[in-house]
Amino acid sequence: MTDTPIDHIRNFSIIAHIDHGKSTLADRLIQATGALTDREMTNQVLDNMELERERGITIKAQTVRLAYRARNGEMYELNLMDTPGHVDFAYEVSRSLAACEGSLLVVDASQGVEAQTLANVYHAIEAGHEIVPVLNKIDLPAAEPERVKQQIEDVIGLDTSDAVEISAKTGLNIEGVLEALVHRLPPPQGDADAPLKALLVDSWYDQYLGVVILVRVKDGRLRRGQKIRMMSTGAVHVVEQVGVFSPKMIATDDLSPGEIGYITAAIKTVADCNVGDTITDDRTPAAEALPGFKPSVPVVWCGLYPVDADDFEKLRESLGKLRLNDASFHYEPETSAALGFGFRCGFLGLLHLEIIQERLSREFALELIATAPSVVYRLYRTNGETQELHNPADMPDGSVIDHIEEPWIRATILVPDDYLGAVLTLCNERRGEQADLTYVGNRAMAVYRLPLNEVVFDFYDRLKSVSRGYASFDYQMDGYTESDLVRISILVNGDPVDALSFIAHRSAAESRGRAICARLKDLIPRQLFKIAIQAAIGGRVVARETIGALSKDVTAKCYGGDISRKRKLLEKQKEGKKRMRQFGKVDIPQSAFLAALKMDG
């Protein structure tokens, strides 16, 4: 299977904004190179994967090997690497890109460049990729290839004189793409005789095979039966199966430099396979690992609690099952006075958080309460100790805190000129610092530094709403900065509800406290007794709302025949109450709780 000489291998990924035609182009490439028959095409490949990803199920890299006979008559092995496209998985994307030498930049000729595209292009440029611009949907009447080319040159600085103009939908000029891959992308480099160095691109759990690892061989050979070593952990495994994706899994004898494929090695969980790790030979190991490895670190945390306390064990099991296939999220048990037993969970970002929550409710039928998402703060105590803080409940008394640092991001926002003012206002409200503001045709590109904790509170929703959905957004982490942060506690009838407390910048703390009190006032229905809702910073109450007692609720008619019925109704109510969460004798309905946590700035 390794009869393709290294200079006839091309490894590439496709960079595109959602809906710009990535999966359609991938399908065309697969079809044009005969990797699948037409009949298989109808119910196969990347379209399905795309759908799964849209539903939040697949966040894994995919790959397919294509055999292409070029116009020069020679056979080439083209490896298409399909990557998860979201910013939360920026590191995973960067590793996928590190497995390739080039990228196709697919831009909708009727739409132009989007923020998400930009971020991924920069990742590809950092990975040293040769980038081939491809203008898709050239057949549309609204297509403006010249304008979009100019935009690509202005914004990204790529030469577009050789941009390939195609229509993935109609199949127009797919060959032009294949020829560009062969002639414009460099072949991989590697030494087959050097000690093995293979990049661990991704891994997933297959119920029959165990963990399947996606690899890119840089140097040496990866063979069946070989004893391999994970360089970050030192763990040793014996390779059981080696193969490639066509896109079906096809076993081979080995993988040689430049090739992309998979191995299995009786590994039980993906937690043992760190993305970006270097796989080497246990007997003749490489002297140093491939560059760029980073252990995955959660940046956003929240508490997840079962609505029904009896579901705690089920939640633990479900989290365990999800972690089998997604080592990037973390969980540890925690207890809340208000919510009972649950888990503190760490995620790569907000989308990742939503995906896990969605999977828990959809695949495991769990009803959950999620507490407000928190970023990871660095807390420096007066005694010199430092601590990572991601649960507002763990924030110590002000007197022992020397200072706190919070994580910042660098956000890129592309927005039509009409909405720029609103977007800038939003960024400024969220303590943003403008780093750059340029124009791309009639669209503005604003680059802002923002504290991450200002983004985890409904920033996406607000951005969408102030731009009527036209703004696109992407970000990368941008270090820690000291900040004046305080914890706001929410009290219901004088009792603090720990799950509602949050950390905010002092300048915004009071208004946030007032906002959440006002929100809770609307969300909590009137009850038998009046309810006091307060927000406090330290011991100081900064906001108060009172929910008056309900004014009337009494059954008009009740006679002899009603006694049993009314008693049973009462008992049912009592039973239901037992399962409700009470805070200082106040029932906070589920919906109120969830909505209150979706705090608006």
Q: Which residues bind another protein (CB under 8 A)?
A: 526-529, 549-561, 563-564, 566-567, 570-571, 573-574, 577, 585
CA torsion through residues 338, 341, 344, 349, sign: negative
Cβ at position 543, least distance to another protein in Å:
24
Residue pair 314/364 in contact (Cβ under 8 Å)? The answer is: yes
Q: Report how far apart, in Å, the C-alpha atoms of 371 and of each of 518, 538, 597 are.
A: 18, 20, 7
Determine the 3-state secondary structure of 145 from DSSP: helix
Residue where the block lists tokens 């009190």 = 517
Sorted by sequence, the CB contacts under 8 Å of residue 513 that are 6+ apart come out as 488, 490, 535, 536, 537, 542, 543
What sign for the dihedral angle of Cα 573, 574, 578, 584?
A: positive
Q: Which helix (H) or strand (E) holds 451?
A: strand 443-451
Task: For residue 451, give Cα distances in angstroms to 345, 474, 494, 564.
Answer: 21, 14, 31, 59
Q: How far is the CB of 549 from another protein (least distance, A)?
A: 7
Minimum CB separation from another protein for residue 369, in Å? 23
> Which CB atom, from 208 or from 559, has the smaller least distance to another protein?
559
Q: Which is nearer to another protein, 147 or 526 (CB)?
A: 526
Nearer to another protein, 236 or 569 (CB): 569
Q: How far is the CB of 569 from another protein (least distance, A)?
A: 9
174-187 CB burial, b ≥16 within 10 A, e <16: beebbbbbbeebeb
d(CA 322, CA 206): 12
Q: Which is nearer to another protein, 337 or 528 (CB)?
A: 528
Cβ-contact 299, 376 below 8 angstroms: yes
* Contact present, 352 and 304 (Cβ < 8 Å): no
Least separation in angstroms between residue 489's CB and another protein is 23
Q: How far is the CB of 546 from another protein (least distance, A)?
A: 14
Nearer to another protein among residue 458 and residue 495 (C-beta):
495
Q: How far is the CB of 151 from another protein (least distance, A)?
A: 51
Strand 164-165 relative to strand 340-347: parallel, antiparallel, unpaired?
Answer: unpaired
State in angstroms the smallest separation of the CB of 91 from another protein.
52
Structure tokens at 411: 């956000």
- Is residue 388 within 8 A of residue 377, CB to CB? The reply is yes
Query: Which DSSP helix (H) or strand (E) runs through 533?
Result: strand 531-537
**In this complex, which beta carbon is closest to another protein, that of residue 39 or of residue 578?**
578
Q: How far is the CB of 125 from another protein (least distance, A)?
A: 58
Residue closer to another protein by CB (options 238, 549) is 549
The first and second tokens of residue 301, run together, are 């945390």
Q: DSSP H helical segments within 524-601, as ranges?
A: 563-579, 590-597
Tokens of 501: 């407390």
In the complex, the smallest distance separating the C-beta of residue 519 from another protein, rounded to whole angstroms, is 21
- Please say which residue, 150 or 527, places its beta carbon nearer to another protein: 527
CB of 120 to another protein, least distance (A): 49
Residue 517 CB, shortest distance to another protein, in Å, is 22
Q: Which is nearer to another protein, 227 or 567 (CB)?
A: 567
Q: Which is nearer to another protein, 400 or 569 (CB)?
A: 569
Q: Shortest Cβ distance from residue 567 to another protein (Å)?
A: 5
| 301 strand-pairing partners | 346, 374
Among 4, 10, 5, 6, CA closest to 184: 10
Give, in degrees to the nearest 5, the angle at Cα 99 between 97 and 103. 45
* Dihedral sign from CA coordinates of 501, 507, 512, 514: positive
Q: End-to-end alpha-carbon separation of the chain, Å?
A: 58
Calculate the CA 138 to chain-centre distance.
Answer: 31
**Residue (142 or 554) nearer to another protein, CB:** 554
Residue (119 or 531) nearer to another protein, CB? 531
